[in-house]
Structure 1
Amino acid sequence: MTTIDPTAQTTRPPSLTASRGSSRPRRVAEAIGFVAVWMSAGFLLHLPSNGYLLLGIPLTAAFQLLVRRRPVRELFAAVTARFALTRQGIVIATVLALTPAVYATTAMSSGDWVTAGWYLAAVGGAVAAGFALRAQTLATTLRDAARPIALGAGAMATVYGVLHLATGTPLPAFAALAAVVKYTALYLPATFLMEEVAFRGAIDAHVHHDGEGRGWQSAVLVSALWGLWHLPVSSGFALPVLVAELVVVHIALGVWLSFAWRRTGNLAASALAHAGIDAVRNATMLGL
């Protein structure tokens, strides 16, 4: 039986209902500045993708505490009074931490410390996931994740399915299914400390407040920033084509992730959707 965490509030907190004296143009400028700092560090330090993601953990925490001036727990479940895990939350966190913990051990034994850091961050993210997932019902999480998963995973399966047909490359069904399970188990807890927590939990919550309309424009802006954010660790096309591809794809996916976050102020649905979409992408790329 699914119950709501007793620490949950019945009304939305100030971070989602009021501007606290900060105008929307200023909030937008602060969000753009945050992403610009992160991207600049990625370019200047020539970080690998995992290192680039890890850099976002302290940057997101600093943005939340120093710019937004909101508690860190609101990155995961804004409609809560304090950070606490129920017994069921501890079980969820433990289960979600198992897969990245195993991979972290393997990475450390081989001396790959950046990759090990990514897996350890996912272990930490499992605790935040246990908190968020117990702050609302499972039905709500699945309902809000359903549309972005259907759109994103469906698009990934279609694009890479066509490529498999066009190249005559078979897609091993069992291996693909196993990949979906594996990457969902890794990405779901990871998104609570990397990427999703920054662009929905921090940036979207800062740019868009309740009472400012549904916020299509702000959702598009946040999603465009999310696309551009990938530039320091992306390649393969001429720069104008790469920018256009990143922005268009991430707007198409990100708007729905923003709306999933905004409906409840809980990261669980958008994190699940993000993890599911990336897992299907990785699975359907097998053999290409």
Structure 2
Amino acid sequence: MKKKSKTKSNTPRHEEWTVKEHTEVLEFLFKVMPSKSRNAVKGILKRGQVVVNDKPTTQFDDALKPGDLVQIRDRVASASVKLKGLKILHEDDDLIVIDKESGLLSMGSKQERQMTAYRQLMEYVQSIHPNNRVFIVHRLDRDTSGVMIFARSKMIQQHLQKAWTEAVQERSYIALVEGVMKKDGTITSWLTEDKTFMMHSSPKPNHGQKAITHYKVLKTNRKFSLLKVNLDTGRKNQIRVHMQDLGHPIAGDKKYGSEVNSINRLGLHANAIKFKHPTSGKVMRFESEVPASFTRGFK
């Protein structure tokens, strides 16, 4: 018998059934969800979304008996896993898309003991099943906020990284920069990194990695400009270096020439990403709201 769950209004609704006869979990799920493909049902089980008598399971052959309550929930992770500085925007068998706050490292070194986005997501997926893992597809600087993609297998990670240019159709940022910018434009240069991990820009072809940044002026006032920035390439610190090259460093970016920090953070936000899903081929787009501090002071 299928029925609606009795949940509070702020809790995601889910499907549930009462078992009528002895069976196994996967066999039961196939029977009660005939409209879904067998692979889709297996994916729901694999992600830990199946709960039997309030206990999550990922085992296809777990025994069910009459009277057992089987539920399908949005996500099931250990209550001890508290995600800090990030939220999950999307999750499936292949990917996890997150919205990262400024100040959180994407991924640290082996010696890095700070909590990172990678470490938190690893704890999250392993609370569902100990064999689960995540793999970072691309990074955001610690002080850059916004949308990031993680893969749930090495194969998916490598597929996305190798096909990045073809797969990613949009990768846009919102940047708060110093000074008044009057025109939209594009800047192209070649980036290299020195021994102090500073990135440097050169106009000489092939002198480093080619970097192309497009920018559009959204708003200006007497001290700042708000830009929408799109990347053809994703080099380390690319936007930060290019804004410095233009004489309009990103607000709060002391490393690359900023002299003011009126918003108490780096004025760079990964606003949106649009890409072709590596397995389904479906075009997906995820967007993160622009921080209020970026738009304060503009009419």
TM-score class, shorter-chain normalisation, is under 0.3
**Which structure carries more helix by proportion?**
1
Q: Give the TM-score taking structure 1 as reference length.
A: 0.28
Structure number with bigger Rg: 2
Q: TM-score, normalised by structure 2?
A: 0.27
